[in-house]
Amino acid sequence: MQVVVTYESRTGNTRTAAQLVAGGLKDAGAEVTIGPVDTPDFKALADADLVVVGTWTDGAFFLGQRPGGAGNIARSLPDLWDKRVYSFVTYALNPGRSHEKLADLLEAKGARSLGASAFHRNRLQDDASTFVDGIIDYYGN
């Protein structure tokens, strides 16, 4: 399986989370290309069976949460017609619906969203591992 993991990150948490997801998928046998959203690997995206997109939670901590860098993601990623995508956000206190809004953004680009999660920035390892298990379960069935 060919996977692209791409992320938007200001202070490194989401990059770390993306690296954990990529590592878990590689361990499961996937061929993984990883990089920031603003330098997309168009060939890898075109060839991918699955695209994973991660970003951070922006907002006023308890209200107005949204995917950070959403404009950048919308601008930088090409259309993802019928691509299967999983997405995640990292957060500090309360992600609200930011992960669902990220999935909506990707669906607006034509993707088929199979799952959207929120990883607490202090539990990246555990939350990334659960996320990867969900992907492996889906492809194992």
Binding site for ligand FMN (CB under 6 A): 9-14, 56-61, 65, 90-95, 121
Taking the complex as a whole, the smallest distance from the CB of residue 37 to ligand FMN amounts, in Å, to 12
Taking the complex as a whole, the smallest distance from the CB of residue 91 to ligand FMN amounts, in Å, to 3
CB neighbours of residue 62 within 10 Å: 9
Q: Please, which residue, 14 or 113, has the CB nearer to ligand FMN? A: 14
| Cα–Cα distance measured from residue 113 to residue 87, given in angstroms and rounded to the nearest whole number | 8
| Cα–Cα distance measured from residue 68 to residue 59, given in angstroms and rounded to the nearest whole number | 8
Q: Please, which residue, 8 or 84, has the CB nearer to ligand FMN? A: 8
Q: Please, which residue, 68 or 84, has the CB nearer to ligand FMN? A: 68
| Cα–Cα distance measured from residue 128 to residue 100, given in angstroms and rounded to the nearest whole number | 17
Taking the complex as a whole, the smallest distance from the CB of residue 12 to ligand FMN amounts, in Å, to 5
Which residue number is nearest to ligand FMN in terms of Cβ? 59
What are the counts of helices (DSSP H) followed by strands (DSSP E) for the chain?
5, 6
